[in-house]
Amino acid sequence: MSKKSEKLSVGKYALLGFQHVFAMFGATVLVPTLTGLDVATTLLLAGLGTLLFHLITGRKVPAFLGSSFAFLGGYAAVKTMAEGQGITGNGWIPYAGIGVACAGLIYVLVSFLFKAFGPSKVMRYFPPIVTGPIIICIGINLASSAVDNCANNWWIAILAVAIIVVCNIWGKGMIKIIPILLGVVGSYAVAALCGLVDFTEVREAAWIGFPIKAEETVFSLFSGANGSLIISALIAMVPISLATMMEHIGDVCAISSTVGENFVEDPGLHRTLLGDGLATTMAALFGAPANTTYGENTGVLALTKVYDPKVIRIAACIAAVLSFCPKFAALVHCMPVATIGGVSLILYGMISAVGVRNVVENQVDFTKSRNVIIAALIMSLSLGISFSSAGAIAFNIGSVTISLSGLAVASLVGVLLNAILPGNDYVFGANASGDKSMDLGRV
């Protein structure tokens, strides 16, 4: 296949663009399916977010921005807190959105710090001993919901798991890159053939429609918002950005290795972080999940040997166009719960496994008491609070009730302890394999 510098025909550009859409699709639509966010809005903002990222990075980095798995636990926490305060239906989505939007702004802040002080000095405050256990806990916190979904029909769930395992282990080429999509499509098709899917919603949906729902945007809160829930959502969501920034850096390092160009230096991590952060903020404001650079599309780059960022931008435009078809979104929405359970059973476990990989590949020394203490407190606080009877730590400041999720408390404690305790020897850039180990997109 052609390299980045070679010119391609219009037909080849379009074909390669569709291939990238195919690669990102399963994971991108799975996040809104798991959380209750809108599929059409997600596709639109994934496309627009990718284009914004390319604009900010000088159109140099061949990265596609899809839905981030890392915020799944945060969405679940905000939804639970909202229901506890009497907010029903999708009324929790704008509150989660404002939390994720502010998490994206943390990217922007860190990007300026990277520019001013360099990555090494900033990254000392977010070493693998902090980010690894946080990612481990994100997956474990979600595991019970996967089992609950599987219980709707274990045979369909097991089929989804089997397809993913077979494609991931024995698949070749494109099949190995898209196991999640194939697991969803395969188990969905079998469920439909067995009469387990109700397609009424698909039949009633229009062919063309606007993908953004005003009541699910952050702007809907202007007409009257729950102040305490906004603060709780901010506390639940913003600390997760500490882990997703490491995910972003891992993705950029992986893309650099695949393409053979040093994107860490040019356009620089400060610009890629800025692009990802602003794309995430834009998506969250309009009711879509957080964006992140996608490992699946990096796999397509490696497979085709075509590194031209223009191909990614074509894929982004295709995703945006698809978002204007409600019938297509309804087809995704009809996905069997057991299919979701089977896919998420693997997905959540693999998220935790990526956290383990981050610790192992960065050779975190657990003979040091500081590292044991940091990891122990992160994991015990995150899991202990999440699975306690209250599910969160709640306290009052005046008339405002603040709820802290387990993941939020653990993240804040981990960062604080790492900054205070002596013996932090982490150096960013010293271990190329470790720098790429937080690539959640490869899940």
Domain membership of residue 273 (yes or no) is: yes
Residue pair 298/254 in contact (Cβ under 8 Å)? The answer is: yes
Domain membership of residue 4 (yes or no) is: no
Which tokens hold the place of 178? Answer: 């898209």
pLDDT for residue 443: 45
SS3 61: coil
Domain membership of residue 166 (yes or no) is: yes
- Residue 55 binned pLDDT confidence (cut-offs 50, 70, 90): very high
pLDDT tens-place string over residues 339-392: 999 999 998 988 898 889 889 999 999 999 999 999 999 999 999 998 888 777
Domain membership of residue 79 (yes or no) is: yes
For residues 59 and 55, give the distance between their C-alpha atoms in angstroms, rounded to a whole number.
6
Domain membership of residue 1 (yes or no) is: no
Residue 161: is its pLDDT beyond 60? yes
Residue 159: is its pLDDT beyond 50? yes
Domain membership of residue 5 (yes or no) is: no
Q: Which domain holds residue 148?
A: 10-438
For residues 54 and 59, give the distance between their C-alpha atoms in angstroms, rounded to a whole number.
5
Domain membership of residue 305 (yes or no) is: yes
| Burial of 1 per CB tally in 10 Å (0-12, 13-18, 19+) | exposed
Domain count, the chain: 1
- Residue 246 binned pLDDT confidence (cut-offs 50, 70, 90): confident
SS3 174: helix
pLDDT tens-place string over residues 115-154: 999 888 888 888 899 989 998 998 898 899 999 999 999 9
Q: Which of 125-129, 221-225, 304-308, 327-331 has the lowest mean pLDDT?
A: 221-225
For residues 441 and 300, give the distance between their C-alpha atoms in angstroms, rounded to a whole number.
13
pLDDT tens-place string over residues 256-274: 888 889 898 899 999 999 9
CA–CA distance from 64 to each of 57, 102, 159, 319 (Å)?
12, 22, 29, 11
pLDDT for residue 1: 37
pLDDT tens-place string over residues 74-113: 999 899 889 988 898 999 999 999 999 999 999 999 999 9
Q: Which residues contact 257 (CB under 8 A, 6 or more apart)?
A: 432, 436
